[in-house]
């Protein structure tokens, strides 16, 4: 095991897969000569050259389309967006082409492509740079959506995503690139796509989270432990396919659930998980499923307002007290 930063886990996964398969290449803005906007591709240009580390113009629709075409012709592109806020410009290629080509051609053509980059808010960057898009992409058949929370999950899931024969959205967080954690150094370390993980055993309430919100929920669980509230914490890791079985199994044990999501409430991941729990485990619930999300308003720029806007450990604690009738 080695202790790596989040960005280092991304780079290690890319390096190992590029070395393993010459069809894997990386393209995006500043990925090569600048070593990546977040230094997640540092050193890869020196090792693999300009043929497999390709800097692109600021034209998301253009280079996403090149990636889709390359995947259809047998290559395995990893397309980096500087942020998924900018990937909206490439939505036509992702949603109308990458996700549908294999289906429309009866399985004759595969589209093994990974679209990766930061998702969600990253501090005081304003409303147009602070959107969580995971539920939007999860809405469309043919796309797999991953948002890991810790370096080990980054490496294992990114390697699986690159080897997958279908398009994968791989979402990270700008605020987590410096996060450290232990990562297996096995070059064949893979985590199956679509498997959640119980990262904290508990008996009183199930808290479900992913991405940056996992760490908010983890902080809340530590504080609740001081009040003798035993939280079971689940990191879904993969938004789609969603491992609802692991969540349901936990809810049947704890009888209560809070879902934490860095997105707006309407039509979000938390809404879908809440529905599935009520559908599959209604008779086991001692309280309605609660969710902690962003308010239904765009991100403010002012720091005091931004801090109120983003879900916090305090919000999670209040939700847990509500479902355990301790408020």
Structural domain for 240, as ranges: 197-323
Which helix (H) or strand (E) segment holds residue 248: the answer is helix 244-254
Q: Are residues 170 and 306 in the same domain?
A: no
pLDDT in tens, 197-210: 999 999 999 999 99
DSSP 115-146: EEEE-S--SSS-GGG----HHHHHTSTT-EEE
Q: Are residues 10 and 83 in the same domain?
A: yes
Name residues whose C-beta falls within 8 Å of residue 246's C-beta, 6 or more positions apart in sequence: 195, 196, 197, 198, 234
**Rounded Cα–Cα distance for residues 225 and 66 (Å):** 50
Does residue 289 contact residue 248 with C-beta atoms inside 8 Å? Answer: no
Tokens representing 46?
A: 């020196």
Closest CA to 250 of 238, 239, 236: 236
Catalytic residues: 60, 129
Q: Are residues 178 and 278 in the same domain?
A: no
Q: pTM here? A: 0.96
Number of domains in the chain: 2
Q: Are residues 122 and 203 in the same domain?
A: no
Q: Are residues 165 and 228 in the same domain?
A: no
pLDDT mean for each 10 residues of the chain (327 residues): 95 97 97 95 97 97 98 98 95 97 96 97 90 96 97 98 98 94 92 98 98 97 96 98 98 98 96 97 97 96 95 98 90
- Count CA within 13 A, CB hemisphere, residue 114: 27
Q: What per-residue string of b and e applies to 86-119 under the rule 16 or more CB within 10 Å gives b?
A: bbbebbebbbebbbbbbeeeeeeebbbbbbbbbb
**Residue appearing with tokens 């490496």:** 155
**For residue 188, is it within any domain?**
no
pLDDT in tens, 119-168: 999 888 889 999 999 999 999 999 999 999 999 999 999 999 999 999 99
Q: What is the CATH number of the domain that holds 237?
A: 3.40.50.920
Q: Which backbone phi and psi does 279 adopt, to 5 degrees?
A: -70, -45
């Amino acid at each position: 095991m080695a202790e790596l930063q989040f960005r280092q886990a991304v780079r290690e996964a890319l390096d190992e897969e590029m070395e393993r398969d010459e069809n894997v290449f990386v393209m995006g803005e500043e990925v090569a000569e600048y070593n990546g906007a977040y230094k997640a591709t540092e050193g890869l240009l020196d090792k693999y050259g300009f043929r497999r580390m390709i800097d692109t113009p600021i034209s998301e629709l253009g280079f996403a389309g090149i990636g889709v075409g390359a995947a259809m012709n047998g290559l395995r592109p990893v397309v980096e967006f500087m942020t998924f806020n900018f990937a909206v410009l490439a939505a036509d290629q992702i949603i109308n082409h990458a996700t549908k080509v294999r289906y429309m051609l009866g399985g004759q053509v595969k589209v093994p492509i990974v679209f990766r980059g930061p998702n969600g808010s990253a501090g005081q960057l304003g409303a147009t740079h602070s959107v969580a898009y995971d539920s939007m992409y999860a809405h469309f058949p043919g796309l797999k959506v991953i948002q890991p929370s810790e370096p080990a999950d980054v490496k294992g899931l990114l390697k699986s995503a690159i080897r997958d024969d279908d398009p994968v959205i791989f979402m990270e967080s700008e605020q987590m690139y410096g996060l450290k954690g232990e990562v297996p150094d096995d070059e064949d370390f893979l985590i199956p796509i679509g498997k959640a993980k119980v990262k904290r055993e508990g008996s009183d309430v199930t808290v479900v989270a992913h991405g940056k919100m996992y760490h908010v929920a983890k902080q809340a669980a530590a504080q609740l432990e001081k009040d003798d509230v035993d939280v079971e914490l689940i990191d879904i890791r993969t938004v789609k396919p969603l491992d609802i079985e692991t969540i349901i199994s936990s809810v049947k044990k704890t009888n209560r659930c809070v879902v934490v999501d860095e997105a707006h409430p309407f039509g979000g991941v938390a809404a879908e998980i809440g529905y599935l729990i009520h559908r599959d485990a209604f008779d086991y619930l001692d309280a309605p499923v609660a969710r902690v999300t962003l308010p239904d308003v765009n991100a403010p720029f002012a720091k005091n307002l931004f801090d109120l806007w983003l879900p916090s450990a305090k919000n999670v604690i209040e939700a847990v007290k509500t479902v355990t009738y301790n408020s």
